[in-house]
Amino acid sequence: MDIANQFFKAFIKDGRWQLYVKGLGITIEVTIFAALLGLLLGTIACLLNMQRGRTGKRTIASRIAFIYIDIIRGTPTLIQLMIMWNVIMVSSKNKILVASLAFGINSGAYVAEIIRGGIQSVDAGQMEAGRSLGLSRIQTMMNVILPQAFKNCFPSLLNEFITLLKETSIASAVGLVDLTHAADLVSSKTYQPMMPLLGAAVMYFIVVKTLSVVFGKVEKRLRESDNR
């Protein structure tokens, strides 16, 4: 009876289940925007980081990309989020935008390394083959190397998306009412944290499990296409 009462207070009373649904929607929204930004920044940072001059030394752009990747991967995500909220975007009241930018910039550094591994997994002869067909180095990279690299690192990119989804739970630090913050709000009203937090955990698990199953099927299809 006590568990049933806690469940009623945490989810049914005053329509509190709507807080969880709204929070989950915000979590997914931030994750999608951050993932797209991270993919864009990661691809650009990867290509710049691998750029070398005629002498084989790093270019200025390559050094900047390397510093970006090094700093972002070497500092906690929460601190990056707080800097974005309290320093860089201090004048903005759009918490979803701030969170999306912070998580997107963070994800971009990890995506850059994932894509770099994908590029390095492509046979070096592919670049020579493209150049022999009259393509420039940039054209070969964009039309020959990158498509194969993305296919090779696709599973890792999907895992990064799932990690990003769970990592957005710290967005409550800037007052964003995501799924985790929604559970905190309900806990503060019921004074019984177990049920709200357990409910949020179950919702995270269901979303992550669903994504894992879908991504697993996509990965399987990709492997089948390689065997043809």
| Higher pLDDT among residues 173 and 53, named by residue | 173
- Please say if the pLDDT value at position 54 is more than 70: no
Span 138-152, mean pLDDT? Answer: 86
* Every domain of the chain and the residues it spans: 2-226
- Amino acid 190: pLDDT: 86
- Amino acid 84: pLDDT: 94
- Please say if the pLDDT value at position 196 is more than 60: yes
Region of poorest pLDDT, from 87-101, 121-135, 190-204? 121-135
- Amino acid 141: pLDDT: 85
CATH code of domain 2-226? 1.10.3720.10
- Please say if the pLDDT value at position 198 is more than 80: yes
- Amino acid 40: pLDDT: 96
Arithmetic mean of pLDDT over the chain: 89
Region of poorest pLDDT, from 90-99, 124-133, 148-157, 216-225? 216-225
User: Counting every residue, how long is the chain?
Assistant: 228
- Please say if the pLDDT value at position 227 is more than 70: no
